[in-house]
Structure 1
Amino acid sequence: MVWAGVTSTGKTPLVFIDRNVKINAEVHQKTVLMENLLPWASQHFVGRLFILQQDWAPSHGAKSTKVVLDTHFPGYLGKDLWPARSPDLNPMDFSKWGLLKRRARSQAAPTTFWMLSRPHFRRREAKSTTTTSAAPAIP
């Protein structure tokens, strides 16, 4: 699995989780929220408001995840405030993932998860994937 986030001013590092790992609440909290998003947001949003929006997959909405969100991401908005499958409120699903898929199909793309997670591919995508293409979709 690949996790990423985008804001109107930047993007998170890509987070790669082995495909044999079940993405449950514990994995989401530890690997995505605490080890990656929290340190990135703490540096990127010093003294500024940060509101977390997520798609509310089961691991995102678990009671234990809500405790982590309440503690470390108090500006998150609950799932009742974000319409499902809304192109204007979900730039990752309706802009960035499609762009990455098109780019991967148009060039010699990695053929395995291991190749995709290699540092040189991650650096290439980090440099070539800008927030500019998603900026119109970010409120």
Structure 2
Amino acid sequence: MVWCGLWTGIVIGPYFFKNDAGVNVTVNGDRYRAMITDYLMPEIEARDLGDIWFQQDGATSHTSHQSMNLLREHFGEHIISRFGPVDWPPRSCDITPLDFFLWGYVKSKVYVDKPAAIQALEENITRVIRQLPVKMFERDIENWTQRMDRLRRSNGQHLINIIFKQ
């Protein structure tokens, strides 16, 4: 499992979830909170990002009481999440820039040389993310802002006019 954060022209990550022996593991609440505490918060502080919003999907490890309490400690009311101060719209994976843009783009580049081992895959992911042009993020954030405006105007309904362009 891999995690990335996106902030106006900056990618924080990739962060690969591994156990103490360095073996890849799935994400659970404890691992997610450890990533936030041990990786994300130091990255935010090192980059002096200050007053930012944290957006996440509704995965159980993200929205457990412990995870949400930790996020509130760090981000206050600036959280877009299921059970958060700004509720994540149901069935809306398409509103996060990472889901509707970044992961698809990264996958299209990462698998070009057909990595045969996890280490090669992780190296490709890291390389592709490090080479992303800033201009691409600007367009991505602009597109996200437009979708959020349309979502707000539709009171959280499906964005049919975006998904199925008429």
Scaled by the length of structure 1, the TM-score of the pair is 0.80
SS in 2 for 1:125: helix
Q: Which whole-Å CA distance do the structure 1 matches of 2:114 and 2:47 have between them?
A: 30
1:112 aligns with 2:112: no
Q: What TM-score, normalized to structure 2?
A: 0.69
**Which structure dedicates a bigger proportion of its chain to strand?**
2
CA RMSD of aligned residues (A): 2.3
Give the whole-Å Cα distance in 2 for the aligned partners of 1:126 and 1:101: 10
Instruction: Provide the aligned length of Structure 1 versus Structure 2.
Output: 133
Structure 2 CA distance, aligned partners of 1:43 and 1:123? Answer: 19
Match runs of 1:18-97 below 5 Å: 18=18, 21-30=25-34, 32-46=35-49, 48-74=50-76, 75-79=78-82, 81-83=87-89, 84-85=91-92, 87=94, 89-97=95-103
Percent identity among equivalent residues?
23
Question: Are residues 1:10 and 2:10 paired?
Answer: yes
Cα–Cα, structure 1 residues 76 and 131, in superposed 2: closer, same or farther, change >3 Å? farther
Q: Which structure has the greater CA radius of gyration?
A: 2
**Secondary structure of 1:77's match?**
strand
2-structure distance, mates of 1:11, 1:20 = 21
By relative contact order (CA 8 Å, sep 6+), the higher-ranking structure is 1
Consecutive unaligned residues of structure 2, counting only runs of 5 or more, are 146-166
Partner SS for 1:99: helix
8 Å contact 1:25–1:65 — kept in the other structure?
yes
1:103 aligned residue (89, 100, 109): 109
The answer to whether the Cα contact below 8 Å between 1:7 and 1:131 also exists between their aligned partners in 2 is no
